[in-house]
Each structure stands twice: as structure tokens, then as C-alpha cells.
Amino acid sequence: MLLFLVRSLARLPLSWLQAIGRLLGRAVYAFPGRYRQRIQANARRAGYDDPAFFRRAAAQSGAMIAEIPKVWWRTRDCLTHTRSDQESIVQAALAEGRGVLYLTPHLGCFEITARHLTQYGPLTVMFRPSRSPRLDPIVESARDMHNLRAVPANRHGVRAFVRALKRGEAVGMLPDQVPREGDGLWLPFFGDYALTMTLAARLALQTGVAVILTAGERLPAGKGWRIHYLRLPEPLPETPEALALAINQAMEALIRRFPEQYLWSYNRYKEPDDAPPHPNEGIAG
């Protein structure tokens, strides 16, 4: 029943879905609570302190969620409304024949970027299993696409990533997810320490691939998406910590291109129980 409902939503025009999402995003933000507080706190870390910015960011978060059914089950239609004026960055990296690591932060429509990139060849992406078994049929159905392979965020998935990169293929992952199981370092992100994954950096250093950050900017009035690319300059930093910091800095630059579409409500600065000591721990105020 849930799968039928989501598939039915995918039949609606993209402009309708995004408009509904924006309304819902603003409505949720209107009520005091953790969601509202997190948007404000995280955006202020990056220097965005305008109440109007907070409301627009909440609206864009709603649009991001509402457009997912369309992207998942009307992929071909969505791809006809996807464009970029930076495709030469991807083409040059692929021509080198040593594999590409795509890093897609929680910015814009990060579901469309992977599907857009499959036009260049096989792409393996990493995902975290859903916390709700009821969502599994929906997610599994959405992953079924030519040239797109999804692997879990565990050791099996990491091995699949390494094999794909050694074949000269492309892989993709979210670089701004809070890492689990103690795999992370406290590094600056928009002026504050955030627990940062080292997996992307370690993969890049191990395999010697090109590293490209990418994001799909949501265009107004349901006109589709513009894909942005930002390639890390080489030679890359030689240590995982230095490269992870460079990735954070590149993310900041990409986010500032269209900051209202970053997922400021994501709990990017949380402190997991298995995290290393926070840099500010024990420092007196």
C-alpha cells in the first residue's frame, strides 16, 4: 500500500510536488522545536543569520523530500530536465582511466546526481539500510536502474568500492554523513568542529582516483536541476586527515553556490557515543 502511494505521487508534475514540499517544509518550521532550532544553529555557523533564509531553507528541505518519488520512479523524465555546463570536468577525469570518486553532500537533489552520472558508465553508490523494514520494498524498488549499483555502508560495501575503482569505474557517497563505529575525526566545517568521515579520503589515497564533488541544484518552478561539479586539485593531500579537511573545505565552497538548498536540519554536529574526544572537551568557557 505504501509503495502504491509513493508510486502514485511520482505521477504528479514535478512543480506540484516541489510546491507541496515547500509548503510542508515551511509549516513544520513554523512550530518551535528541534527541527527549527537545528536549521537556525547550523545556518548561523556558516554565517547565514537572516530569518528569511531559515524559512527558505526549510522550504527547500521540504521540496527535496517531496521530489524523491519523481526522481526514483520517473527517472527518465527527470533526466530530460537535468543539465550542466561543467560536464567537461567529468569527461576529463574519466578519460584518465583511473576511476572517479564522486562525493555528493546533502545539497540540492542528491538523488538526481547519481542517476545523471550513469550516462558515463557503471556507478556504484553506498547507502545506509533503512531503520524501518516497511521502507525496504520502496528503497529496493527505487534502486533498480541500469548502470547503478547500490552497496551497503559496511565492509562488504567498501570492498565493492575498491574493486570498482580498480576497474577504472566510478563510485559515489555522501561525504557529510556523521560516521559510525568510531570511524571519524573532529575537523572544521563552517567554523566549528564536526565529526568527519575518513572513508572517502582513505579510498582516494588507496586507489589514486580523481575526486569530484557534485550536487544537483533545484531550479525554480519545477524546471529541473543543474548539476554542479568541483574537482579536488592534485596532487591530493597525502594523509587521510589532511584530505578529509580538504573535502570539508570543498564542500563549503560547493554549498555556498546555492546555500538555501543545503540540508541545514541534518544533525551534522552531533557527538556519537563512540566518537573520539571532542577538541573542545575539557576547555573552560
Relative orientation angle of helices 199-207 and 240-255, to the nearest 10 degrees: 110
Delineate the domains of the chain, giving CATH numbers in brackets: 2-261 (3.40.1130)
Residues 6+ apart with CB under 8 A from 59: 21, 22, 23, 25, 26, 29
Partners of residue 231 on adjacent β-strands: 212
Q: pLDDT tens, 22-41?
A: 999 999 999 999 999 999 99
Whether 176 shows a pLDDT value over 70: the answer reads yes
- Mean predicted confidence (pLDDT) in 48-72: 97
Mean residue pLDDT of the chain comes to: 92
* pLDDT value of residue 5: 76
- Mean predicted confidence (pLDDT) in 38-47: 98
252 C-beta neighbours (distance < 10 Å), count: 17
Residues 6+ apart with CB under 8 A from 128: 152, 153, 177
Whether 185 shows a pLDDT value over 80: the answer reads yes
Q: pLDDT tens, 108-138?
A: 999 999 999 999 999 999 877 666 666 666 6
Q: Omega of the bond prior to 235 within 30 degrees of 0, cis?
A: yes
What is the C-alpha to C-alpha distance for residues 178 and 195, in angstroms, rounded to an integer?
6
Residue 44 carries which side chain, given as an amino acid letter?
R
Q: Give 183's pLDDT tier (boundaries 50, 70, 90).
A: confident
**Whole-number CA gyration radius for the chain:** 19
Question: How large a percentage of the chain has pLDDT more than 70?
Answer: 91
Sheet bearing 82-83, strands edge to edge: 82-83, 225-231, 210-218, 100-103, 170-173, 123-127, 148-152
* pLDDT value of residue 283: 47
Q: Rank 142-146, 156-160, 221-225, 268-272 by mean pLDDT and report only the highest.
A: 221-225
CB 213 within 8 A of CB 252: no
CB 151 within 8 A of CB 127: yes
For the chain, how long is the longest CA-to-CA vector?
Answer: 56
